[in-house]
Amino acid sequence: MYHDIQAAYDFVDSGVGLTFGVRNLADETPPYVSNNDDMNTLNQTYDTAGRYFYGRITIRR
């Protein structure tokens, strides 16, 4: 089970919005699957990148 978190704030007067988030908050590793050729797991089903952070700035006119 993966947990993601995201927070956003809009500066109404300036038209600027900020968003920050974390994917795979607990840095859970996918289960090991021994009969798969590529990454020892099912990369179509599980997040193989681990925990990562992201941010976004939105400017509206």
Residue 32: its pLDDT value, please? 72
pTM of the full predicted structure? Answer: 0.69
Fill in the amino acid letter for 43: N
Q: Is 18 left (phi over 0), alpha (psi -120 to 50) or beta?
A: beta
- At residue 19's C-alpha, the angle toward residues 17 and 25, to 5°, is 170
Q: Give the confidence band of 43 by pLDDT, cuts at 50, 70, 90.
A: low
**Under 8 Å between Cβ of 24 and 3:** yes
